[in-house]
Amino acid sequence: MNSVSGRIEISLGDITKLKVDAIVNAANTSLLGGGGVDGAIHRAAGPELLDECRKIEGCPTGESRITGGHRLPARHVIHTVGPVWTGGGEGEPALLESCYANSLRLAAEQEIQSMAFPCISTGVFGYPKDLACDIAVSTVTKWLRGNERPGYITFCCYSKADKLLYEARMKKT
Instruction: Give the mean model confidence (pLDDT) for residues 88-94.
Output: 97
- What CA–CA distance (Å, rounded) separates 69 from 45? 6
Looking at residue 54, its pLDDT comes to 96
- Cβ neighbors of 68 (< 8 A, separation 6 or more) are 48, 49, 52, 75, 76, 77
Looking at residue 28, its pLDDT comes to 96
Residue 119 near residue 128 (C-beta atoms within 8 A): no
Q: What percent of the chain has pLDDT over 90?
A: 95
pLDDT at 120 over 70: yes
Per-residue pLDDT tens digits for 56-84? 999 999 999 999 999 999 999 999 999 99
* Alpha helices, DSSP H, located in 4-156: 36-45, 47-56, 92-109, 129-146
Per-residue pLDDT tens digits for 20-54? 999 999 999 999 999 899 999 999 999 999 999 99
Confidence of residue 4 (pLDDT cuts 50, 70, 90): confident
Residue 46 near residue 58 (C-beta atoms within 8 A): no
Q: Phi/psi zone of residue 81: left (φ > 0), alpha (ψ -120 to 50 degrees), beta?
A: beta
- The CA-atom distances, in angstroms, between 110 and each of 66, 107, 162 are 9, 5, 29
Bridge-partner residues for 67, per DSSP?
Answer: 77
pLDDT at 2 over 60: no
Residue 106 near residue 23 (C-beta atoms within 8 A): no
Looking at residue 173, its pLDDT comes to 84
Instruction: Give the mean model confidence (pLDDT) for residues 6-16.
Output: 96
The reply to whether CATH 3.60.10.10 applies to domain 24-171 is: no
Q: Which residue ranges make up each domain of the chain? A: 24-171
Looking at residue 1, its pLDDT comes to 42
Catalytic residue among 14, 21, 38, 130: 38
Average pLDDT, the chain: 96
Looking at residue 128, its pLDDT comes to 98
51 is catalytic: no
Helix 160-171 with 129-146: angle, nearest 10 deg: 50
- What CA–CA distance (Å, rounded) separates 23 from 37? 11
Residue 33 near residue 127 (C-beta atoms within 8 A): no
